[in-house]
Structure 1
């Protein structure tokens, strides 16, 4: 909810077990496979499939659309078809793969069936960014598996500097959406860049794929915030069990900030400090309305149009809060839209609100009403460890002044005086140096994270 929305080929639902029982080609052809999908009346798109072994030992796959800047799109189920073929289900689409000697013959099924040949490639194309980490590295990196409360296994990377001997360590907690341990955004690997900087400045880092995403098992789109909090706490416990680190901190970006607060509030003995980056300091309902108001403004809506949009957003959210998950909520939200006047329907379409934020199929997921009801200030009130709160002055997703004030006020109301806060000038939601802070800048900006922001995070994390 808090990062700009990508219009990908498909946004997916829950993860299922790999149910193929015949001669399955996937385990024998791990790696990246890519081809060109040519639709009769649409653009030519590169489509990729990454086949890998998850952290729980199961062969799995994800889909990529490099031309749209979308990678690691989760597959919700894999099943067999006659002829030693497998089908990857991707919510409103599927991809059938049949091994053809040295490549996969593919069939993309989304209304029509389109042919697609996928050949092995060393990796998927993505923009080269100047801050992407490059050797030599003054630290070690290893892949680790972390078991969460409900037997979900998280795939993770642990980065440990060669010095000092017992460094402080932080868990990086991603914002909303099916994020990997890298936090990919238009070719920027936000968490890779941050982990590299922290390790070069003496702080160890653990970062992980969200449940149901990339190398992690589990069900992402069936999750609640409580599940994500359990996963973050499992990461903290895994670090404590290694007995090789000093203080253990949490660095949460956007929604990850409130996850950090919840973990520290519920397990105060386990968390020694927190860094909140572009974090939320108001209720989910208030933030959602604020975000849609800002999105409409950024797209050029007039003040009168914005108020009409916000009126509908309030009705939309109220309907979502009072209707059961799944098909009943989709039906109720579509009926709400149909009851709008033609002028209001045209207004919603004009600013693409029906494609970006007001999508009934996404609102039907269990996490949506939970996120609206959530108020992270309740948890911040009960956090008593040292906290650094940072936000960017050009953040359009989580406007810094109001949200930082909400976090700081909650901390101080709970008696926590060990709080530092700053609004960093000219930074957007992703902590890039920006000109306007609009969604359209993310891909154009070469910087992944402003060095000044990373310096603040590293200094605070090292000195605890």
Structure 2
């Protein structure tokens, strides 16, 4: 796997930067900077960096790869001197030196540094997506800052339809990864499309940046699932306090569906309905093993190899569950890998079963172990409001059959009969109409969200008003 319930996309460099900056160069040159680097024996790739200071004085920096459709990958740390900024990555580094009116940069990955000349730009180039919202807008976008329980400030946008009295408001909840309020991925902005579609139908929409991302403060790198639940809970409370709104509903994508379910249980009077898109309905361990099974099949493993790999995968995750402390956990995983036969080790490496959530860098993260321990079925059993659950038949991250069955079984076990569900044919994890559902199609498909999904969501939401 790459990311829990949502793999990192096409970048060959993994982002976990180191950033210790003082006021000066970054503050003086806030904005977007774009350059090109020539990959040896490969293409010329655009690379973007965005720098700004948040309202609370904290720094934000991100890297984007427009040619690969990847934007706003957050920087953890920056090293800053009077004339240079340096971003240290897991497998690379980017150093920027200020020269009169631009940055000269070096991308350091492998034996040959790649040079960059970065000029300031208003926007990064993006592929044309026909569903990206465009003017005129029959609604007002109101910027908000919402304070969560631990003092983190969430940057948000509330879209309120013109001329509507006390509209229903839908809060959009991210999937995994460093989600912006638009849930941007592969040049698509699915939450912007959802918000625009609902607002044009008279429904208010609130969307927010995940903690530690863009205008939201906090630490994304070390966040936990309970913190994300608390963040959404704070957003619900903020919407309750706005008397110009009426019913509150939650729409969660992928991992966000579990977060929405937990907050609906916590706020049974306030939350009137839940929409689950590509929602998870399996315990964390079973979900990750299923994802890895699909990954292995997608990448050429035959049935016997898949079963052989899953023995290792399950032992790997069970080792994480059995070791709460980081050092014993990493030591035990190294020992597990060392005990593999040469043939098994070759098989693991051939099918990349030592990457993503099966890598030691991910095993160090508290979030991975917490995800393995989590069980969305427990949350779904407590949800008593109306639920719409949609999954795509070509979803390779959250396979539809198993997860829809898990959600529906949990809702039935809790006595909830106010449930609508569908497995939508030929739709992938992002609800695009796809050929195979594979991740590398995301950026190639012009469609952001299939119209049938927008229609079903809107009909369900409007019915709850």
TM-score relative to the length of structure 1: 0.93
Cα distance change, pair 142–237 in 1 and its aligned pair in 2 (3 A): same
Secondary structure, aligned partner of 2:52: strand
Tell me the CA shift for residue 288 of structure 1.
0.6
Provide the residue aligned with 2:147 in structure 1: 147
8 Å contact from structure 1 (residues 329, 360) kept in 2: no
8 Å contact from structure 2 (residues 71, 187) kept in 1: no
Distance 1:91 1:243 in 2: 47
Secondary structure, aligned partner of 1:426: coil
8 Å contact from structure 2 (residues 195, 205) kept in 1: yes
Distance 2:58 2:301 in 1: 48
Provide the residue aligned with 2:95 in structure 1: 96
Provide the residue aligned with 1:319 in structure 2: 319
Distance 1:43 1:20 in 2: 35
Deviates more, 1:256-265 or 1:420-429: 420-429
Secondary structure, aligned partner of 1:235: helix
Corresponding position: 1:421 with 2:421:
yes
Corresponding position: 1:408 with 2:411:
no
Tell me the CA shift for residue 95 of structure 1.
2.8
Tell me the CA shift for residue 32 of structure 1.
1.2
Provide the residue aligned with 2:104 in structure 1: 105
Tell me the CA shift for residue 240 of structure 1.
1.5
Distance 1:385 1:328 in 2: 43
Deviates more, 1:193-202 or 1:116-125: 116-125
Tell me the CA shift for residue 346 of structure 1.
1.9
Q: Could you list the runs of 5+ residues in structure 2 that have no partner in the other structure?
A: none
Provide the residue aligned with 1:235 in structure 2: 235
Distance 1:376 1:441 in 2: 28
Distance 2:443 2:303 in 1: 28
Corresponding position: 1:20 with 2:42:
no
Provide the residue aligned with 2:389 in structure 1: 389
* Aligned residue pairs, count: 460
Cα distance change, pair 97–325 in 1 and its aligned pair in 2 (3 A): farther
Tell me the CA shift for residue 339 of structure 1.
2.6
8 Å contact from structure 2 (residues 18, 89) kept in 1: no
Corresponding position: 1:2 with 2:37:
no
Instruction: Note the 1:19-98 alignment, pairs <5 A.
Output: 19-21=21-23, 24-38=24-38, 44-54=44-54, 56-81=56-81, 83-98=82-97
Instruction: Note the 1:276-291 alignment, pairs <5 A.
Output: 276-291=276-291
Distance 1:50 1:124 in 2: 10
Tell me the CA shift for residue 61 of structure 1.
1.5
- Superposed CA deviations along residues 296-344 of structure 1, whole A, max 9, x for unmatched, are 1122211001011111111110122223455554444344323322222
8 Å contact from structure 1 (residues 130, 446) kept in 2: yes
Deviates more, 1:263-272 or 1:53-62: 53-62
8 Å contact from structure 2 (residues 190, 448) kept in 1: yes
Tell me the CA shift for residue 392 of structure 1.
1.4
Cα distance change, pair 299–117 in 1 and its aligned pair in 2 (3 A): same
Tell me the CA shift for residue 33 of structure 1.
0.4
CA RMSD of aligned residues (A): 2.2
Tell me the CA shift for residue 109 of structure 1.
4.2
8 Å contact from structure 1 (residues 20, 86) kept in 2: no
Cα distance change, pair 162–363 in 1 and its aligned pair in 2 (3 A): same
Deviates more, 1:27-36 or 1:172-181: 27-36
Tell me the CA shift for residue 151 of structure 1.
1.1
- Superposed CA deviations along residues 205-238 of structure 1, whole A, max 9, x for unmatched, are 1111111122211111211110110111111111
Deviates more, 1:235-244 or 1:302-311: 235-244
Cα distance change, pair 367–169 in 1 and its aligned pair in 2 (3 A): same
Tell me the CA shift for residue 180 of structure 1.
1.1
8 Å contact from structure 2 (residues 356, 362) kept in 1: no
Cα distance change, pair 221–329 in 1 and its aligned pair in 2 (3 A): farther
Distance 2:121 2:329 in 1: 41
Distance 1:180 1:379 in 2: 25
Distance 1:88 1:242 in 2: 41
Instruction: Note the 1:209-220 alignment, pairs <5 A.
Output: 209-220=209-220
Provide the residue aligned with 2:128 in structure 1: 128
Instruction: Note the 1:176-195 alignment, pairs <5 A.
Output: 176-195=176-195
Corresponding position: 1:164 with 2:164:
yes
Tell me the CA shift for residue 27 of structure 1.
1.9
Provide the residue aligned with 1:301 in structure 2: 301
Provide the residue aligned with 1:358 in structure 2: 358
Cα distance change, pair 446–42 in 1 and its aligned pair in 2 (3 A): closer
- Superposed CA deviations along residues 264-311 of structure 1, whole A, max 9, x for unmatched, are 112223311110111011101101111111111122211001011111
Secondary structure, aligned partner of 1:185: coil
8 Å contact from structure 2 (residues 18, 79) kept in 1: no
Distance 1:218 1:422 in 2: 36
Tell me the CA shift for residue 248 of structure 1.
0.5
